[in-house]
Amino acid sequence: MEGELDRVHSASSLRLLLTDPLGFVWKYAFRWDEPADVEGEEPVLLDPLAVGDLVHNVLEKAVAILECMGGFAGAPREALEAAISSAVDEVRLKWESSVPVPPKVIWEKTLRKAGELALLALTFDLLPLPGQRSYVEVPFGSAVSYQTPLVTPWDPAAPVLVRELGIRVSGRIDRLDLSGDAQTARVIDYKAVGKCPPEDPGLKNGNELQRCLYSVAVRALLPGIQHVDASLLYPTEQRLFTLDQPDQFIGQLVSYLRLAYENIRDGKAPPGIGAESKYNKLKFAFPSNADGIYFPSKRAARDSTVGSLLTLWEAS
């Protein structure tokens, strides 16, 4: 397992390590995955993950257009609407030429909805940073070569370390705003789909790691930064959740990850709370009626094995 633990981690792999140790072993050591869909099969509807990707694509293109026209910050609504319309057209062509899309009527409605969500996201009332430059879908910590030239504030292949653990992480920041003097940064994780919580979800039982990882990446790659705001934005509900004490949350995350590493190395890899999720793609590997019989019967033994990870799983 050392090779799997020492891999360049993403938010997804670390989330799985924290919430479902057995799932982490299955996915990264055994290389198990859910059965693939029939190639080329036309979907009736896009699943929530695909809808999120679609909205992110529109946001990426729209902000790129606005930055080339003088800047996203302070752009009038008319310019935002025009940029989003152009972005939807560009994304439409890309998707239709590369992946199966729903039937025409449903596809058109999906594209309109993506444009509406993008407009809600970009018109959210945020005070522009002085001399702000905005970047979208900003890669970090990855040696992957990208097909199109990217305007980024750093070298995308430069390593990003969670220094306390000595592990490398990579990913993409949904949106990064930088002040003109490069002293202040604002990172935003868009939540285009999913239910908006009534209050800041924090680490959300190990499921909400992006804000912490984005903050780590910005500080590692822009050492002159003095202040980083890290936020979740729910466009539909127009709610923004900003970490009040990012260092505290990063410290908590590091502590939980250290314990998860120790557990795996000690051979303690039970199915965690993530295994019980309806979104668990490897649930087919468990016994029939796992929710009704298997998971409840194993819960006490599991809880006695994972140590303080149980505190994370039970956090309200």
With 0.85 as the threshold, say if the pTM is over it: yes
160: left (phi over 0), alpha (psi -120 to 50) or beta: beta
- Mean pLDDT of the region 193-209: 93
Write phi, then psi, for 172 (nearest 5 degrees).
-135, 130
For the stretch 129-153, pLDDT in tens is 999 999 988 999 986 655 444 678 9
User: What share of the chain in percent tops pLDDT 70?
Assistant: 94
Residue linked to tokens 């005070």:
127
Q: In this predicted structure, which of 34-38, 136-140, 167-171, 223-227 has the lowest mean pLDDT? A: 34-38
Cα-based angle 289, 206, 5 (whole degrees, multiple of 5): 90
Q: In this predicted structure, which of 35-39, 87-91, 299-303 has the lowest mean pLDDT? A: 35-39
For the stretch 264-274, pLDDT in tens is 999 999 999 99
User: What share of the chain in percent tops pLDDT 90?
Assistant: 78
The 8-class DSSP code of residue 291 comes to I
Say if residue 96's pLDDT is above 90: yes
Check: CB of residue 61 under 8 Å from CB of residue 90.
yes
- pLDDT band of 16, cuts 50, 70, 90: very high
Check: CB of residue 142 under 8 Å from CB of residue 8.
yes
Give 202-206 contacts, CB < 8 A, sequence gap 24+: 202/249, 202/315, 203/249, 203/252, 203/253, 203/256, 203/312, 203/315, 205/19, 205/273, 205/312, 205/313, 205/314, 205/315, 206/15, 206/18, 206/19, 206/256, 206/273, 206/274, 206/309, 206/312, 206/313
